[in-house]
Chain A
Amino acid sequence: MNPVQRSRNRALMRFVLLPMIFLTVALLGGLRIDIDTHAFIFIPPPLITLILSVLLMILFVRGHAIELRRWVTSEQPTLTNISHVLTLLTLYFASAQALNSVLPERGLIFWLFSFFFLWTLWNNQFSNFDARRLLRSLAVLFGTAFFLKHMFLASLFSPEGGWAKKVAGFLLEVGTLGTLDYQVFAPATGYISFFTLALYVGGLILLTPSPEPEEGSAFALLRAYQNLPPLERMAVRASIAGMQDNQPALPQEVSMETETIEIKGELVEAESEETQGRMQN
């Protein structure tokens, strides 16, 4: 594939396919099917999902899943910036609707789910993430919520269940003084939600940290290194040191710098960054 074709495909994905995927998630995230009439029920995103979605967007930026400065920059043409802003907006609403899809509709369970999402996303703000880890973490988070809502709770409150299931549902309802208030939908709702989440995760996989790949840039490598947890940083350094052992001896000055990283980098964080600064210069 020649560079022109590659560039065209990238543009098609970034400007057409990604917004389409995220908008489809935004459309289907609030769709439920009535259990009696099989009619469509469209549930707009509750306020809490908009707040959770803001946290999710911050997490994308912090986890370097989105390099905001490369998506929207004054160095790009206006049309490109507009297009990128629209794509990011569709991602925001898709996130809100993906959350809407796995949150129960009302009652105590809705607030419990919302609280756990809020707690998890808030805690994640202070964790060390790279894009791949963040994606894995989100897939697990959404997968768990999907299982709890569309499989566990739906099965517990299903009108077609056996007597044991009905008794369990009744006891749960009584035990929570009727605050549970779970709304039952047709099984098709679970399938729609599964498709929506799969599409959302697929969209996140296609979403690159920066619109154009950073070819031949050592800065991207450095950024990736900075996002690694201490143990993996140590492994990278050990690997580089191993490679250097096999290579002919470096000039005295460079060799000294490498040693400084090896010896001090992990224990004293400030010195490590200073050394990296020197390396960049």
Chain B
Amino acid sequence: MQHRLIQSVGIAWTILYSVFIIWIYATEPRSFKEVAAGAQAATGTYEIDQGRFNAALDMFHREQFRAAREEWQLADPGMRDARTQFYIAYAFYREGWGRVYYDKELFKQGLDAVNRAINLAPEGTLAIDDPDLQMHTAAELKAELEKGLEPSLGDINPFKVFRKRK
């Protein structure tokens, strides 16, 4: 009887551990924090730090984009919240936007973040109701970031200095 119990526990433990390893290799977390956040997301208990999120939003409104991004990353260490990822992408967009040229490196990171937001959003659509923003959906933001990364004849147009940041 005891033998059977040990066998059953062994089988259950082996299967659970195997599933955990497969999950780790599938999600590729980059730190222990991400492992914990991923586990919380898998069990449906993941929540972002709302206090940090609001603090980051204030910084974003004061145009402190880099600080805002860092705060949002702390609020959402597992990168599991679509709204936070959308704002991170927006911060990359606003910081990378320039009258004469766009910072392509920042735009690339913004594109990664907005793609994450789209993947996390239910059915891939995400709309944010924030009067400070001029692009309210992830699709608009993605299109704007992609436009900034693609070279075009418009890049040599001198009138582009009159364009407006969204």
Chain A residues in contact with chain B, CB under 8 A? Answer: 7-8, 11-12, 14-16, 19-20, 23, 26-27, 30, 37, 39-42, 44, 79-80, 82-83, 86-87, 90
Contact = CB atoms under 8 A, between A and B. Distances in A.
Contact of B10 (A7, A8, A19, A39): A19
A27 B6 contact: no
Contacts of A82: 11
Contacts of A37: 30
A59 to B, nearest CB: 23
A23 B14 contact: yes
Interface residues of B, number: 22
A80 B15 CA distance: 15
A23 to B, nearest CB: 5
Nearest to A82: B11
Describe A's contact surface by its main secondary structure: helix
A132 to B, nearest CB: 27
B17 A23 contact: yes
Contacts of A7: 3
B25 A16 contact: no
B4 A20 contact: no
Given A26-B21, A79-B7, A19 B2 contact: no
* Most chain A C-beta atoms within 10 Å of own C-beta, residue among B7, B8, B20: B7
Given A15-B7, A16-B9, A40 B17 contact: no
Contacts of A12: 6
Contacts of A14: 10
A27 B29 contact: no
Contact of A42 (B7, B9, B28): B28
Contacts of B20: 27
B119 interface: no
Contact of A79 (B4, B13, B24): B4
A120 to B, nearest CB: 27
